[in-house]
Amino acid sequence: MVATHPLWQAHHDDLTALAARGRIRALLPRRGRDFASNDYLALSGAGRLREAIGAALARGVPAGSGGSRLLRGNDPEHEALEAEAAAWAGSETALFVSSGYAANVALLATLPQTGDVIVHDDLIHASMHEGLRLSRAAALPVPHNDADTFAATCAQWRAAGHTGRIWLAFETLYSMDGDCAPLSDLAAIAERYDAVMLIDEAHATGVFGHDGRGLAHGLDGRADTVVLRTCGKALGVEGALVCGPAVMRDFLVNRARPFIFSTAPSPLMAAAVREAIRICVDEPQRRAALAALSAHAARLLTPLGARDTGTQILPLILGDDARCMRVAGAVQAAGFDVRGIRPPTVAPGTARLRVSITLNTTPADLDALATTLQDSLT
């Protein structure tokens, strides 16, 4: 690494240490067939989305919102999207936020109050962790997908005499493991302990459930359920929809700093997300094709060591960071964009290839990937 100005020496040293541990990262151009994106339904380049954005421009929708939603930034496109999204999800209301990251920070930092506790899965996303850091409530982690420990943790907290609200925070489909939460068990625990669920559906939205509403779609409309649906993955656009009770939405509008003190998302993006939701409803064949492609991937890749998750995310855990990055490099050099995922994104000793299945690839691409992987792994 080249020398730097003394003002930046500490940062330079940190990067040098990262490089020495094989953990340095860099921004690379898109290359190779897509086994890395979250564009699961291949909507990001879909004609209908382009047309929706073109039509919005033509009817005078502005590119930028011009300010916070609480100032002049509130656009009819935001409100039209929120009404349509709530109807789609089956929730009382929806709130459009600029990203899933901002939404998770807002939810965890704002909703739980002093004296409350957030019982959360060990593997929740970094954005939820960021919200935990800002929250006034206590936080208790639970081993991944362990519903019994979720219940025992709630019971112990109550038995210790705490009277605050319990909040359960978890994802439905985990982005680095591809596995799914024990949703009905967690919903039963929420009922038993009068808890509220904060459910992150980032990777399930558009892919699973009736009309692509996600894995938790049966819970929408319950007073104890808040669902985060991100718009930058299967929906192909950007932003996030927080779906839940009206009082929750009003509280966020009044109290959530990432919402209040931030420029509202582009109204053009709101129009595009609305169209993406309509595509989810109108084109179930996309979900069916993705399910078929994911099953094909599982047949090919589980014999090579990938987990058969039953979803579009197939992790192939190699353990050692250096080996993981070596195999990823070999596969990339052969024209396949498969990314190696290392700590701290995943636990030490669990470095992995995260194979993401999207409709940007074909069964023939998968056949070729499997052959290359087999060679690279030996």
Contact positions vs ligand PLP (CB under 6 A) = 99-101, 104, 125, 127, 171, 175, 200, 202, 230, 232, 240
Smallest gap, in angstroms, from Cβ of residue 162 to ligand PLP?
Answer: 28
**Which CB atom, from 104 or from 294, has the smaller least distance to ligand PLP?**
104
Exposure string of 45-55, with b = 16+ CB inside 10 Å and e = fewer, is ebebbeebbee
Smallest gap, in angstroms, from Cβ of residue 230 to ligand PLP?
Answer: 4
Smallest gap, in angstroms, from Cβ of residue 163 to ligand PLP?
Answer: 31
Q: Strand 351-356 vs strand 339-341: parallel, antiparallel, or unpaired?
A: antiparallel
The closest residue (CB) to ligand PLP is 100
- Cα 253–Cα 256–Cα 261 angle in degrees, nearest 5: 90
Which amino acid, 69? R
The answer to whether residues 219 and 195 touch, using CB atoms and an 8 Å cutoff, is no
A 10 A CB-CB count for 26 gives 4
267-to-77, 96, 182, 270, 272 alpha-carbon distances in Å: 6, 11, 36, 5, 9
- Which residues are within 8 A (CB) of 291 and not within 5 positions of it... i.e. 6 or more apart? none
- Which residues are within 8 A (CB) of 43 and not within 5 positions of it... i.e. 6 or more apart? 49, 206, 234, 235, 236, 237, 276, 279, 286
Which amino acid, 250? D
Query: Annotated active-site positions, please?
Result: 38, 125, 171, 175, 200, 203, 233
Smallest gap, in angstroms, from Cβ of residue 242 to ligand PLP?
Answer: 12
Smallest gap, in angstroms, from Cβ of residue 196 to ligand PLP?
Answer: 18
Smallest gap, in angstroms, from Cβ of residue 108 to ligand PLP?
Answer: 11
What the block records as the tokens of 72 is: 């002049």
Smallest gap, in angstroms, from Cβ of residue 176 to ligand PLP?
Answer: 8
**Which CB atom, from 169 or from 189, has the smaller least distance to ligand PLP?**
169
* Closest residue by Cα to residue 240 from 94, 368, 129: 94
The answer to whether residues 75 and 264 touch, using CB atoms and an 8 Å cutoff, is yes
Helix (H) or strand (E) holding 13: helix 9-20
Euclidean distance between CA atoms 67 and 69, whole angstroms: 6
* Closest residue by Cα to residue 211 from 285, 144, 270: 285
What the block records as the tokens of 377 is: 């792994």
84-to-88, 92, 115, 243, 274 alpha-carbon distances in Å: 6, 11, 36, 11, 7
